[in-house]
Amino acid sequence: MGGPADDEKLRLQQLRALRRRWLRDQELSEREPVLPPRKLGPVAAFWERFLRPGGLWRQQVYKACQASGFIVGRVLIPAWIVTYYVKYHL
């Protein structure tokens, strides 16, 4: 005796199979996505090359930033404080 319950079970089973198939179809293969080659302007191309890991320029800029931060934090700011104190409080 087949009734509405059997029809509903069959319908739910078919829906589950369709969902599984749809989810499997959404997975990308190793060849996807196929993107067109990017056309970079001169500034973007410079930064693309500059920011590559291990580049000599990148290391030199990092060292310069580290040194300037040390000089500002450990030399200039204390010198300004001392100059202010000497000028206005002594």
**pLDDT digits 0-9 by tens, 49-62:** 888 888 788 888 88
Q: Chain-wide mean pLDDT for the chain?
A: 89
Angle at 84 between CA 78 and CA 85, to 5 degrees: 90
Per-residue pLDDT at 85? 96
- Please indicate, yes or no, whether the overall pTM of this predicted structure exceeds 0.85: no
Amino acid symbol at 43: V
| Nearest C-alpha neighbor of 84 from the set 9, 76, 22 | 76
- pLDDT tens digits for 12-59? 999 999 999 999 999 988 888 888 988 999 999 988 888 888 878 888
